[in-house]
Copies of this chain bind each other. A is one copy, B any other.
Amino acid sequence: MTDPKRMYRLYQMQESGNCYKVRLLLHQLQIPCECIEVDILSGESRTETFLEKNINGRVPTLQLDEEIYLPESNAILWYLAEDMPLLPRDKLARAKVLQWMFFEQYSHEPFIATSRFWISILQQADKFADQIEAKRSGGEAALAAMNRHLKINDYFVADQYTIADIALYAYTHVAEEGNFELSPYPAITAWLTRVQSQVRHIRLPDAIT
């Protein structure tokens, strides 16, 4: 923030894993923030007023200053963690953090988060049965890749808890709300416990103010 008296304002939806990532990091960094709930189901993120904040009409969008907005959950994590221990300083480690964050947005979220949205947010599993089935193999492939990595690594990058773990934790720990069972992936469930044991961990339903 250019003005230290100004508080960050997070345009968000409480149930969204992408928004939870930002709340979790803000809380762990002890950065105060005002959360503004946006009802995406009624189109509030696609109004002309909201498109002025985020041209792509999505949450989370973090307001940094009077007219400065930053969309995209993982770009927000990066911005907030720059120069912090949760983002390593080593050049290769930083690229590996991005590797896993792009994996999360391309190979994980579109399958697991989308299934959870249809099943547990909209509660319309029957209506979206075909689409949910089409998301099955991609979601299992993402979990298998994570499990393989976590069999020989405690965290995703640099043997430490980073924003890559936060990004991947958000929708993985609620994967069962999208009908993805985690019991076949014991390395993932062990990692979930390690993430939950971090200082100032908060749960997805918890709001911050």
Contacts and interface: CB of A to CB of B under 8 A. Distances in A.
Contacts of A51: 148
Q: Which of A96, A98, A103 has the most CB of B within 10 A?
A: A98
B109 A106 contact: yes
Interface in A68-105: 68, 70-76, 78-79, 82, 91-92, 94-96, 98-99, 101-103, 105
B55 A75 contact: no
Contacts of A107: 56
What class of interface size applies to chain A in its complex with B? Answer: 20 to 34
Contact of A98 (B55, B56, B78, B96): B78
A149 interface: yes
A145 interface: yes
Contacts of A91: 79, 82
